[in-house]
Amino acid sequence: MKKYLQHLLVLAGIFIGSVFSIEAKAQDFIDEEFLDNIEANAKFVLAEPAAAFSVSETPVKWNDESAVIIGYKRSILFDKKSSGGFFSPRQKNVLFFEKVRFKIQLHDRNSVEAFSEIYFRYSSKEDGFLARIIKPGGEALPVNLKEAVELESAADIPEFFKSFFDQTSGAESRYYKVAIPNLEPGDVLEYAAYTKSKLDVRGSGFVEFDPQYEICSKGYPIMYNEIDIETDNKSFFKSLSLNGAPEFKKENAEDKDFFRYVFTDRDRGVEKDVNFVNRFLVYPMVKFQVIYANSENVKGLLIGGKGELKNGFSKDELALKAWENYASSGNWYDPRNPVNMLLASCLDDLKKLGAKDWTDQQYIRNVFYLIRNKVVFRSTYLNDRVFAYLFANLLLKHDIKSELVISSTNTIGKLKDILFDDEIRYAVKVNDQLYFNCTDHSLPGELVQTLLGNEAYIISEPDRRTHTQAIKPVVLPNAAAKDNMVIYAINSSMSADFKNVLVSRTSTYTGLAKTNNIGSAMRLTTYMLDDYKSYEGEPPTERMKAKEQDEYDRSVKAIKEAYKKAKPDYVKDGLEKEFQQKIKFTDFKIASDGRTEKKKNLVFTEEFELPGQVRKAGKKYLVNLAGLIGPQLQVKKDQRERKYDINVGYARTISWIINFKIPEGYTAAGIAELNSNVENETGKFSCEAKEEGGAVVCKITKVYKEATIAKDKWKDMLAFIDAAYNSSYKYILLKPKN
Amino acid sequence: MNISRHPGSALYYFFNGSRLFFFTCMLFALAGLDTHAQLRVNEEDVANADAWARKYMDDDILCTSSHHYFTFDKGKNALNDKVVVIQEDADIEFMSLKKFASLTYPEFYNKFIDIKTFKKALKVGSRYATSRAAAMDRSVTGDGVFFDDSRVQYYPIHFSEKGSMARITVKKEYGDGRYLTRLFFSEPYPVKEQVYEFKVPEWLTVDFKPINFEGYSIDRQQNKKGGYINYVFTMKDIPADKQEYKSIGHAYTDPHIIIQIKSFDSRGETLKGFDKTDDLYAWNNRLYEMAGNKKESLQPVLAKILQGKTTDMDKIKAIYYWVQDNIRYIAYEDGYSGYIPASAQDVLSKKFGDCKGMANLLTELLKLGGYDAHFTWIGTRSIPYQQSMPALCVNNHAITTLYFQGKEYFLDATEKYAPLGENAYRIQGKEAMIAKGAQYDLKTVPLTTGNEHRIFSKADFILSNEVLSGKIKVVLTGNERKDFHQSYQDMPISAQKDFLNQFLEFGNDNMQAGNIKTSDLKNREIPVTIEGDVDLSNYVNTIGGDKYISIDFFPKTLERFMPDEKRVGGYDFDDVMCFEDEISLTIPANARFVDIPEKKELSSDGYEFKGEYSVAGNKITLKKKVVIKNSIIRKADFENWKKFLGAIKEFSEYFLSVTKK
């Protein structure tokens, strides 16, 4: 999804100096003239005292790991030289001095291969880089950069090599790659980098760098990880450590007008949990952000005081900033503001449709669908602050008052842990009904998975005189397993040659199960063509001239033809992935698209043949009827120990009603053997099978009862997960009557 | 790095896979806007598009004409040789067969090819309007190459009307005519007419070798006019060349021309091009000798490698394996340096190189050790040509040939964990051009069948209650052993244990392996043996007191090679292989087997299958063998191939029935 609009607007006026300082150039070897500078510029980084980097042995406990990072240190100094005059008329640039030191011991061929090419930035003559290999005997061999090759794009540079500045500012500097000679398992690879970057800050009020989420564990164990941020006392720094991660500490810098914020983590292994892990909620992590600014120009940003190490915000601070951000989404004085343009476009449409005569209920619903229609024809979704702003302002035009609700994303953290503007989520409450941001297919009031059951505040506009603001804590609605359903009604039979199982599967999705599946179901269908009906709009052809209408009709015809041709392959590919076998696809039909209140559920039918479900035993056949539920999760031996709490996304119920027609001349056996039932407080798996009217009828249910489950309940979860897995391998027997 | 017109270019598919353009156009249409400049389309073009759309139902775009005109001149290359310079002038026209369609037209270039002019024009009414926009430009360095000079310029072309037309105009110069090697007729889109025309001056002797012309209607004209001979090759109504999984190399099946500049006159002197194999060798060898090897600098490392080795065979192996194990494959290919091997001392000090560099180092180390080793050029199996065809497209790989005790050994240092005497399948059956100073040898790398490259699985299960438990042993030989080593040795050490487990679990999710033992996995010469105890749970179906079990662990991977109705071309597995299973099941004494599947045996030139169950008391044994003897399955053989796969599937899907006595 698109980044925060305000953020974009803030950075819009800033030219990123390092990007434009050197012209784009074709891929080539490094200019030899650079070589004199580049190593000299980085030499001092290695010379700085750092005990963590003098280590030559890695812990025995990590001998079986592919590699061990001995040290990783990033130091970023923000514009020491401009401290006296930042944002003064004569001040053009803010400078960033970045030092990186990285040292890794490579244990096997895999890590040697992973580090056989390394990357460095050389975007200005001040940038520096040097690397060396330290052999097991201690001999240090410098890496010659002479054959470094310039990269056309820095997009795919691995984590450890991209400058912090480029990562946080989105700048695209010039990078090179070099093949490391003479690198072998057992070697230590060390590099030091120094970069200087500048931002042209003329005309901008402040510089807000992207929020950073530093997860302590990496792909390799790490013995020492340090991040130093040094800024002057006019800038803002905030950080919050979660899940047991160390905290940033504030220290005095050498320069009295500067502060250092230092994060140090040691002895961090690789995380092993595989299934149902939400990294941000459980892994030790520190999040932080630097905002370089003077106080007069940072309205609307969630920040603390200058020089303060802010690690959280009070309810009042959060509410105030959220409102300011919300209120500044549009700007009535700027007709080219994209939010205003969207708002104006909606108002224009509503006027044409005679919306003033609509009832309040009709108006609310139609405004939601009108915004959705705008979203349908955008390449990106709106963020929920902009949605809330549009929705509430459009309602206000009809004298419908609404309330603003703020919360946090439940995959990132709790409301109390909000640290960045981007983490604030918005929704609108009208009377007792909540309205959340929409996708192409949302219905008014439909819940959003990332906001389920979250703590939230209803906030009012601050009183201009008293500077007070009403804040009412609420809990957003949750959704139980029964609210998020998938029901597969499967009619099946043997093919004439008894080699395949013929399947007609009607799938009905509700709640979040629908939300998560409607995108693929509606893909390559022409839902957008009739979307205007949802808000009682006019057909696009209504005001077209004959020539335009002809063009429109021909376009629609072409699109329909193209989608009709592409859809079967798309559905077939999906089914083959689902059942992990080649299938023969027959048909796909949507009975209810789930995009209107009248057709609230998503219902579609797929017809196909599965060749992998039938086995022969003499004249008898075995049919893997339970396998029609598709492959089930297998939790392997080494995954059965659990370190962290479990997150399954959302509670849900999946039901299969399988009706298998017993072929003429055959009897079915082994039906009772399919029956099973495992249920506990985390979930359920049950299978009830019986013969009925010449068919085997099998009702299978799998329920994830809660979205989040404590790690000590992992065994309970395994009980029903294993039951589902085991059940999917059961066969029934078809025996000839004679 | 031979220059050829690549049918099925990945770039074409990369740029044309998206349907976003449909949606964008619809957006504008819905908004009543005309921003996509719906160009006026000629009625005749619309009518033609209608007609051709019926013929090319699966295609959005037709190339209505593609005319390439080649002229020849004299010049000098980067080595200051007098060479033939070739200029190509091409006009290519496209027509949209749908209302909305798009393609990206690429022109590839490098240090041997200059793009002089590259223009796109769109047809408005009956005239073409040239676009002012310059073509996009980017590197096309492939996976596995660290750096090369391959680049592409390309134009995206969007059509918003059926019958819309576009024209591409290209002028390119090949700075050394030797590097224009071949021209294919087919393209990723259907072509109404593909014309290659060559205006050959009298001072030039050139041959245009037709390859795979049989079965295709390709018109060849030859006219003499004003001191030139014009050669014109025309092919019409060429279907689109679509990419398919594991397809046979285009050079094996698609018609194309190999351009062979034999000689040319310059100031009264006749200069050689590639007339005979000798000429190709002379060129290759000249570039090889430019490597600038300094043998003496290899001596200290060689001494270390040979320390403790007493026999010649041990010494040869030590050198070969040391290069395999210690030199990483990293390729730089830039202009002529893409053809000149890096010096042996350079590769040794960096511990990386490409195939030429590694072959050069290996050759020099062996020579320094006193052995009769030679740098060698070879074409991999992806290329169908013999060395009798003197063209640069014949060879794309470099190895070392060792003559030892009356036998040739073909040593490929890029093949990690390959034992001496075993050759990668990719060079088997191919002619090697072996450098011997002023002379050369041509020798063919021996071809093997699948039986040498075997996965043999032996398992003995005992049925106890609902669980099968027992011992399992897997033995890998030939390329299967080498592939195992390449995967195992190169993966993180933390993942190796799981990998071994999975190897015994046959890809069966119910199987749990434990107590794993292996052969010496540091020894690449002995078969890899992995054995352990296994439990197979959740596998026995007990119905009405009887048990139903399968002990046939069919190699699932072959399912991917079952052609569907859309498959256009044959398969090339790039390998030959053999799967052999011997699996027994012992059941309780009070039980017996019923419904034993019948023996099945199928054999053809390229593949064979044999499967049989035998019962002795309360023990049943399955012996099964699948051999892929030829890596290529041609489309003409599909019916037989499908029956073969179907028969294996049917045999493997049998369940044994176990009932009480």
Output the pLDDT for position A291: 83
Output the pLDDT for position B506: 76
Report all structural domains of chain B as residue ranges with CATH numbers, in order of start. 3-272 (2.60.40.3140), 277-444 (3.10.620.30), 450-660 (2.60.120.1130)
Same domain for A504 and A467, yes or no, is: no
Chain A residues close to B562, C-beta within 8 Å: 582
Best CA proximity match to A58, nearest among A219, A186, A146, A165: A186
Chain A residues close to B146, C-beta within 8 Å: 117, 149, 177, 179
CATH code: domain of residue A714? 2.60.120.1130
Q: How many CB atoms lie within 10 A of CB B470?
A: 18
Reply yes or no on whether the pLDDT at A603 is more than 90.
yes
Domain count, chain A: 3
In this prediction, residues A528-537 reach a mean pLDDT of: 94
Please say which residue of A312, A339, A365 terminates a domain.
A312
In this prediction, residues B385-413 reach a mean pLDDT of: 96
Output the pLDDT for position A297: 55
Residue A5 — pLDDT band, cuts 50, 70, 90? Answer: very low
DSSP state at residue B410:
E
- Over residues A12-21, the pLDDT tens digits come to 223 333 322 3
Output the pLDDT for position A520: 96
Output the pLDDT for position B379: 96
Q: Give the one of A147, A544, A673 whose C-beta lies nearest to B542's C-beta.
A: A673
Reply yes or no on whether the pLDDT at A91 is more than 60.
no
**A167 within some domain:** yes
- B165-174 vs A93-106, strand pairing mode: unpaired
Q: Which residue's entry shows tokens 């499908």?
A: B642
Residue A294 — pLDDT band, cuts 50, 70, 90? Answer: low
With contact defined as beta carbons under 8 Å apart, do B616 and A577 qualify?
no
Q: Could B653 and A614 be called an inter-chain contact, meaning their C-beta atoms sit closer than 8 Å? A: yes
Chain B residues close to A637, C-beta within 8 Å: 512
Output the pLDDT for position A103: 97
A560 in B contact zone (CB under 8 Å): no
Residue A309 — pLDDT band, cuts 50, 70, 90? Answer: confident
- pTM (two decimals): 0.89
DSSP state at residue A567:
H
Same domain for A303 and A328, yes or no, is: no
Distance CA A161, CA A537 (A): 52
- Over residues A178-198, the pLDDT tens digits come to 999 989 999 999 999 999 988
Distance CA B204, CA B635 (A): 41
Chain A residues close to B564, C-beta within 8 Å: 582
Chain A: closest CA distance from residue B22 (Å): 6
With contact defined as beta carbons under 8 Å apart, do B549 and B468 qualify?
yes
Residue A444 — pLDDT band, cuts 50, 70, 90? Answer: very high
Same domain for A470 and A491, yes or no, is: no
Same domain for A417 and A493, yes or no, is: no
A146 in B contact zone (CB under 8 Å): no
Q: Which residue's entry shows tokens 């002619």?
A: B431
Residue A332 — pLDDT band, cuts 50, 70, 90? Answer: low
Candidates A109, A548, A569, A570: best to mutate against B (most CBs of B within 10 A) is: A109
User: If residue A672 lies in a helix (H) or strand (E), which one and from where to where?
Assistant: none
**A555 within some domain:** no
Reply yes or no on whether the pLDDT at A318 is more than 80.
yes
* Stronger pLDDT, A292 or B587, i.e. the higher one: B587
**A55 within some domain:** no
Same domain for A438 and A502, yes or no, is: no
Same domain for A228 and A285, yes or no, is: yes
In this prediction, residues A430-436 reach a mean pLDDT of: 96
Output the pLDDT for position B21: 42
Output the pLDDT for position A80: 52
In this prediction, residues A622-645 reach a mean pLDDT of: 92
* Stronger pLDDT, A333 or A161, i.e. the higher one: A161
Same domain for A28 and A105, yes or no, is: yes
What ipTM does this complex have? 0.87
**A558 within some domain:** no
Output the pLDDT for position A16: 30
Output the pLDDT for position A296: 54
Chain A residues close to B99, C-beta within 8 Å: 554-555, 557-558
Calculate the average pLDDT of chain B. 90
Q: Give the one of B26, B350, B550 whose C-beta lies nearest to A555's C-beta.
A: B26
Reply yes or no on whether the pLDDT at B554 is more than 70.
no
Q: Could B99 and A726 be called an inter-chain contact, meaning their C-beta atoms sit closer than 8 Å? A: no
Output the pLDDT for position B190: 97
Distance CA B641, CA B625 (A): 16
Please say which residue of A289, A312, A335 terminates a domain.
A312
Percent of chain A beyond pLDDT 90? 71
Same domain for A73 and A220, yes or no, is: yes
Calculate the average pLDDT of chain A. 89
**A319 within some domain:** no
Domain limits at A502?
Answer: 485-513+565-736
Output the pLDDT for position A638: 82
Q: Could B32 and A540 be called an inter-chain contact, meaning their C-beta atoms sit closer than 8 Å? A: yes
Which tokens go with B642? 């499908």
Same domain for A25 and A168, yes or no, is: yes
In this prediction, residues A27-52 reach a mean pLDDT of: 83
Chain B residues close to A673, C-beta within 8 Å: 541-543
Same domain for A469 and A490, yes or no, is: no
Q: How many CB atoms lie within 10 A of CB A473?
A: 10
**Helices first, then strands: H and E counts in chain B:** 12, 39
With contact defined as beta carbons under 8 Å apart, do A94 and A198 qualify?
yes
- Over residues B233-246, the pLDDT tens digits come to 999 999 999 889 99
Q: Could B352 and A615 be called an inter-chain contact, meaning their C-beta atoms sit closer than 8 Å? A: no
Same domain for A408 and A501, yes or no, is: no
* Stronger pLDDT, B126 or B387, i.e. the higher one: B387
Chain A residues close to B538, C-beta within 8 Å: 725-726, 729
Residue A83 — pLDDT band, cuts 50, 70, 90? Answer: very low
Q: Cα torsion for A25, A30, A31, A32, to the nearest 10°? A: 180
Same domain for A140 and A161, yes or no, is: yes
CA A32 to chain CA centroid, Å, is 42
Q: Could A66 and B22 be called an inter-chain contact, meaning their C-beta atoms sit closer than 8 Å? A: no
DSSP state at residue B418:
P
In this prediction, residues A149-175 reach a mean pLDDT of: 81
Reply yes or no on whether the pLDDT at B37 is more than 50.
no
- Over residues B444-454, the pLDDT tens digits come to 999 998 999 99
CATH code: domain of residue A38? 2.60.40.3140
Among the ranges given (A39-53, A74-88, B616-630), the one the predictor scored with the smallest mean pLDDT: A74-88
Please say which residue of A446, A475, A504 terminates a domain.
A475
Chain B: closest CA distance from residue A338 (Å): 18
Output the pLDDT for position A23: 33
Among the ranges given (A27-31, A81-85, A331-335, A637-641), the one the predictor scored with the smallest mean pLDDT: A81-85
In this prediction, residues B192-208 reach a mean pLDDT of: 97
Reply yes or no on whether the pLDDT at B271 is more than 80.
yes
